[in-house]
Every structure is written in C-alpha cells, then in structure tokens.
C-alpha cells in the first residue's frame, strides 16, 4: 500500500542531487521510498498523511551501541560524578550480570532499548557483543543481537575477563570465539586502549576477523592518544569509534582514508572527558559519524537527538553536518547505501519532527521533537 507523506515544510534527503527541499512530499511503498520531490508534483497514493509544515529527515542510523547486557551501573556513574575517573574496568561488572541473565532477559532488555531508540527516531541500529567474554556467552549475545538489530558486531576483545591471561584470551577470541559467533555477525571490533588490548593484540584480532570475512571496526583513542586510529586505517576498518584524543597524524590519516571517525558525544560527557575534535576532523576532510554508544557504563542514552544537539552546541558542528553525520554518516560507517538517505530505492525509514526545521534539534535541546517514525515503511508512532 503506497503512503504519500505531504505538507513537508523541510525535507532533508541527504541525496546529493536534491539536498534539502521545501514544500515537499515523499511516497513510500513496499518498505521503500518510491518518490521524493515537490509536493505539487506528487503522485497519488492509497493513503495520505499531511505533516502540516513539519520537518522530515531520514531516521537516525545509530552505528555504535552495546545493548546486549544485563544489570545496572548507577553506583559507578554516581562515583564518577563525584570525581572518580572512568576506566574500562567497569565493563567487568556488566559481564558478571550478563552471564547471570537468561536468554529471555537479555533479549527483552535489548528489545526494550531498541524500541526506546525507535520511538526517538532511530530506524537502523548496530549493536555489539562484548559483555559475555567467553565462548558460550559471546555466541548467545551474537545470536540474540542478530534477532533484533540491523547490524551486529563481535566485540569479544572488549576486555580481558577477570582471571584470564591476555595472550591466551586473544588466542581464544581469534579461535573458538570467532568461530562460534561468525554466523551471526557482520563486523568485528577491538577495544585498542591502555587497560584493554595493545596494538599487537588488537592487530591479531583484526587479522583473524578479516580472514573470517568480517568487516572491521575499532574502539580507539577514547581515554588517551594511542595506536587505535592508525591501526584502524591500516586495516581498512569501516570506522574507528570514539576518537576523543587525536594527534595531527591521526587526523591526517583519517582524512586520507575511507575509515569513518565515529564520534560519541554522550559518552565523552558521561565520562567527563573533553569532547572529540569534530571541527579538526571535518576541516581536514575526514568523514564523521555521530552515534549514541548506548551502554550501561559510559553512555546510558539511546538519544541520537541529544548527540546531535551536543555536536552543534558544544563541538562546533553545523546543524546540517550533525544531522548528516547521525544519518548518512552512520550509514557510511556501516557501509550501507540503503539507509540514512531519502531517495527512491532507499529503505522507507522516515523521521518527522514536531518542528519546522532540523535547526530545532539544537535550538530546542532536550525537547522530545519526534512526531512520527516510519521504519521499513511501517509507521511506528
Ligand atoms: O564504547 N570503550 C569501550 N566500551 C564501551 C564502554 C562499555 C562499558 O563501560 O560498559 C564504550 O564506551
């Protein structure tokens, strides 16, 4: 059944040919966008929805979350707000709770957060394993994630679990663990950081994952400068995520590569760190994505709109840059061309704001502006 969305005051297509349209319309059919253009030229459809001058944009593409988890880390957050620094060690708390949880509990928690994100306009979501950290718990995390999320990443190399020896753990990640998760995941990731995995260990994980045919991503440069960005670029990773502390060489390497710099402003704020240098990256010509990093430790929010507002208000991104980065940029980080854009052939993932322009995302920070959402052509709200 074809749906005509008309009366669009401002339509952000992210389509280079069309850019931003005013007084526009969209037609959705069979889960895809089949037409976009001036309202006056719109074809007939079975159903008509008049959005009365509101702004329409592609659904958010949240390319970095960690939502297969159980448990709660409020106490760690409170300690951080009282001055204790964030460290990767908190991950172990969630690993304990995740291992204790049943499959049904993990799946329900994941669905609850994915639904919460969808109600706020997120229509394509990546999530990761990484709170199981043994073969059985990583495999079930990957299986549960694959039932719910659009994209799944294997992050067995998130932390060396308590009691394990690092080199033998890397052997396990590259061997039995990778074999157990491979059928459920498209991506592999490694947390390349002091306190997690060093350059050589990270490189082993990336090589073994590439040999299995997985695409690569890297958690890098979150807590300090380090080899993460360089390693990601050298291995042709689709993205390097965090990028909070970058040397000039890191910025140049990203600008000269296809590796997307995925910035996670909610995480930088929640861990009381500096915000990632978005302006340096954009001015150098790097491709930037914005994502929520929703997880129970360093960034417990599913709000991409919050990330966009922060990027504009505090990271000196323009509204257009921030909106692009949270839609088409996320798609680029996931190497997808069917989401993050509204043009014929794209997935019918549509976000309508209760506002006349995307500028209101930053002009009215913290206000829930999502008015309607279609995902694969189905109206969610
Ligand atoms: O992206 N950096 C590593 N992993 C997550 C944190 C996960 C946690 O603290 O539980 C992140 O911030």
Q: Is the ipTM of this complex over 0.95?
A: yes
* 221 known member of a binding site: no
pLDDT digits over 316-327, tens only?
A: 999 999 999 999
CB 120 within 8 A of CB 305: yes
CB 217 within 8 A of CB 247: no
Cα(296) to ligand 1 centroid in Å equals 8
Cα(295) to ligand 1 centroid in Å equals 7
Phi then psi for residue 370, to 5 deg, are -65, 125
* 293 known member of a binding site: yes
Is the CB of residue 94 below 6 angstroms from any atom belonging to ligand 1?
yes
CB 266 within 8 A of CB 310: yes
pLDDT digits over 40-68, tens only?
A: 999 999 999 999 999 999 999 999 999 99
Q: How far apart are CA 370 and CA 381, in angstroms?
A: 9
The angle subtended at Cα 324 by Cα 236 and Cα 381, nearest 5°, is 115
Cα(243) to ligand 1 centroid in Å equals 13
pLDDT digits over 222-253, tens only?
A: 999 999 999 999 999 999 999 999 999 999 99
Substitution site in 67, 88, 109 for ligand 1 pocket (most atoms within 8 Å of beta carbon): 88
Cα(367) to ligand 1 centroid in Å equals 27
Instruction: Return the sign of the alpha-carbon dihedral for residues 323, 324, 329, 331.
Output: positive
pLDDT digits over 115-169, tens only?
A: 999 999 999 999 999 999 999 999 999 999 999 999 999 999 999 999 999 999 9
Distances (CA, A) of 16 to 91, 257, 328, 331, 359: 41, 21, 11, 15, 20
pTM, rounded to two decimals: 0.98
């Amino acid at each position: 059944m074809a749906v005509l969305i008309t009366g669009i005051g401002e339509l952000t297509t992210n389509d280079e040919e069309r850019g931003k349209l005013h007084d526009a319309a969209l037609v959705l059919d069979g889960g895809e966008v089949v037409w976009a253009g001036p309202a006056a030229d719109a074809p007939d459809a079975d159903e008509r929805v008049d959005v009365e001058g509101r702004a329409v944009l592609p659904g958010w593409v949240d390319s970095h979350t960690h939502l297969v988890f159980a448990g709660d880390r409020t106490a760690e957050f409170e300690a951080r707000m009282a001055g204790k620094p964030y460290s990767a060690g908190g991950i172990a708390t969630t690993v304990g709770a995740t291992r204790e949880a049943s499959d049904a509990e993990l799946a329900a928690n994941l669905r609850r957060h994915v639904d919460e994100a969808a109600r706020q306009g997120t229509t394509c979501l990546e999530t990761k394993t990484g709170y199981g950290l043994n073969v059985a718990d990583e495999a079930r995390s990957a299986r549960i994630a694959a039932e719910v999320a659009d994209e799944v990443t294997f992050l067995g190399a998130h932390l060396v679990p308590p009691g394990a020896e690092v080199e033998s753990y890397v052997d396990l990640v590259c061997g039995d663990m990778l074999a157990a998760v491979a059928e459920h995941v498209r991506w592999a990731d490694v947390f390349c950081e002091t306190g997690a995995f060093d350059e050589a260990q990270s490189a082993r994980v990336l090589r073994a994952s590439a040999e299995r045919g997985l695409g690569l991503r890297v958690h890098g440069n979150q807590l300090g400068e380090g080899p993460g960005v360089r390693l990601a670029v050298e291995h042709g990773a689709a993205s390097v995520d965090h990028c909070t502390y970058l040397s000039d060489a890191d910025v140049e390497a990203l600008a000269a590569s296809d590796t997307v710099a995925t910035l996670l402003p909610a995480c930088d704020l929640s861990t009381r760190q500096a915000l990632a240098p978005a302006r340096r990256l954009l001015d150098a010509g790097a491709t930037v994505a914005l994502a929520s990093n929703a997880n129970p430790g360093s960034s417990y929010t599913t709000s991409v709109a919050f990330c966009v507002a922060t990027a504009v208000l505090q990271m000196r991104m323009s509204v257009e840059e921030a909106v692009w980065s949270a839609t088409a940029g996320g798609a680029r980080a996931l190497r997808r061309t069917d989401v993050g854009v509204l043009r014929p052939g794209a997935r019918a993932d549509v976000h309508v704001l209760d506002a006349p322009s995307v500028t209101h995302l930053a002009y009215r920070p913290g206000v829930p502006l999502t008015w309607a959402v279609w995902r694969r052509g189905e109206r969610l709200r």
